[in-house]
A = this chain, B = another copy of it.
Amino acid sequence: MDSEQFRKYGYEFIDWLVDYFENIEDYPVKPTVAPGDIKKLLPDAPPMQGEAMDLIFQDFRKKIVPGITHWQHPGWMAYFPANNSPASVLAELLTAGLGLQCMIWQTSPAAAELEETVMDWLRKMLGLPETFTGVIQDTASTATLCALLSAREKSTSYNCNLKGVAGNLRVYATAETHSSIEKGVKIAGLGKENLQIIETDDEFAMRADALEARIKLDIELGFIPACVVATLGSTSSMAMDPVDAIAAVCQKYSIWLHVDAAFAGTAAVVPELRGFMKGVEHADSFVFNPHKWMLTNFDCSAYFVKDTAALIRTFSIQPEYLKTGADAQVHNYRDWGIQLGRRFRALKLWFVIRSYGLEGIQKMVRTHVQLAEELAQRMVADGRFQIMAPVKLSLVCFRFNPGHYSEEQLDKLNRKLLECINASGAVFLTHTSLRGKYTIRVAIGSHTTTRKHVETAWEIIRKAAEEQINTFRH
């Protein structure tokens, strides 16, 4: 493909994206395809000769697009959002065109220094103290693994890296903690049995007194408490662990405190919403995902750490072929995480923050939080809906509970209700389980979602619920 062909299709793809953004509501949020439907449209073998871009693009529109789930749809209220934005997409275009691999400073000085700069901007935006230094990771899974590994090494004087894991290191979290913590504990060789589940209070938040009791017991039993993972904004219910009380325990026993605020972190840009961050300044590491609520294309996770020397010592490798004359003066981010190779992710963050400004991001967050409050109020006013967890930030957890149903029936009823809601195509919600009860989540946070869409969602939920009353067989 020559330059003029690239230009022609570049324009065409931009035009297609403009149409896509403007007409995204014409698609069902989730496609109705069955497993295997898309695969059978695709040939078993690659072509021998190159094919025309016209044909490839046509296949993209006819075979791929009908089978995708539309994460940027205003009816996306599933899981958590993974927002892009026009500014972010434009930056990703430049990133792809430049085709850099930013493993070390030398392989793109501007990328390394822009990353330092925008991560410090983010630190300031969230009100994190100067003691934190930021680095971009791909996902919170990876960032949390970095925290677990740093904690593992620091608590054993870097001996696990050398000798292997001793098997007596303990990690503490709650049952509400994200699944990536259990996964990270396994990957780091710590063993799932050493992930201690701490009791939660009525709002699904970690009880600091229970944490301290468990730590004391573990020390008596000869275990080494290595890391506590506190969650700000759990996936299931937006639960907020009390970081200040937890930090006090961690400091008392010299334990690495990692804070996972993957979704909720973005809300800290709004001063009046920042209360949940209390005590974060005492943590050792903190992660949130600009690729969730901060308008920055997936993937882009912001990891902040106090003891950068511990992070670097955990991951440092020094093969001859990667040594450069500048090493002593620069950040070589290869040693700040799992992967050697790194995309130029700082560019899209820079574009997004500058394009929206702090006030633009604050405005979006405030709107989403307001819309969630309004939805919860409607549910409460209706009387037949039960709010299953305190409404925090932009997540509403509910079930339909019109009375006279057993717990088992309620689970079944709400499972059917969710299917019915999602069958509308206009909205996509997902479920969780809270204290064993089937719970439907409404996670507001797509940059395209406005009051109109939340009102539509409410109408769909209410009508689907009423339909359930009429059709539900006990």
Question: With an 8 A cutoff between CB atoms, is A213 at the interface?
Answer: no
* Cβ B142 vs Cβ A6 within 8 A: no
* Cβ A20 vs Cβ B297 within 8 A: no
* Cβ A165 vs Cβ B167 within 8 A: yes
Q: How far is the CA of A386 from the CA of B3 in the complex (A)?
A: 40
By a CB distance below 8 angstroms, the chain B residues around A291 are 341
Enumerate 14 A-B pairs (CB-CB under 8 Å) in ascending A order.
A6-B90, A10-B14, A10-B17, A35-B330, A46-B358, A49-B359, A66-B110, A68-B110, A84-B96, A84-B99, A163-B191, A164-B166, A165-B167, A179-B340
Interface string of A148-173 (1 = CB under 8 A from B): 01001000000011111111010000
* Cβ B100 vs Cβ A71 within 8 A: yes
Question: With an 8 A cutoff between CB atoms, is A459 at the interface?
Answer: no
Q: How far is the CA of A314 from the CA of B189 in the complex (A)?
A: 12
Q: How far is the CA of A13 from the CA of B198 in the complex (A)?
A: 51
- Copy count, this protein chain: 2
A469 to chain B, nearest CB (A): 23
Q: A64-B110, A338-B338 are in contact. Are A166 and B163 (CB under 8 A)?
A: no
Interface string of A255-294 (1 = CB under 8 A from B): 0000000000000000000000000000000000001000
Question: With an 8 A cutoff between CB atoms, is A33 at the interface?
Answer: yes
Tell me which of B107, B299, B320, B338 contacts A431 (CB under 8 A): B320
Within 8 A of B (CB), among A1-48: 1, 3-7, 9-11, 13-18, 20-22, 30-31, 33, 35-39, 42, 44-48
Interface size class of A (residues with CB under 8 A): 35 or more
| Interface stretch (choices A120-128, A199-207, A370-378) | A120-128
By a CB distance below 8 angstroms, the chain B residues around A167 are 163-167
Q: A121-B45, A167-B164, A339-B139 are in contact. Are A183 and B315 (CB under 8 A)?
A: yes
Q: How far is the CA of A75 from the CA of B70 in the complex (A)?
A: 41
Within 8 A of B (CB), among A55-86: 55-56, 60, 63-72, 79, 82-86
* Cβ B431 vs Cβ A321 within 8 A: yes
Q: How far is the CA of A317 from the CA of B83 in the complex (A)?
A: 25
Question: With an 8 A cutoff between CB atoms, is A326 at the interface?
Answer: yes
Nearest-neighbor residue (CB-CB) of A3 within chain B: B18
* Cβ A22 vs Cβ B46 within 8 A: no
Question: With an 8 A cutoff between CB atoms, is A462 at the interface?
Answer: no
* Cβ B69 vs Cβ A109 within 8 A: yes
Question: With an 8 A cutoff between CB atoms, is A116 at the interface?
Answer: yes
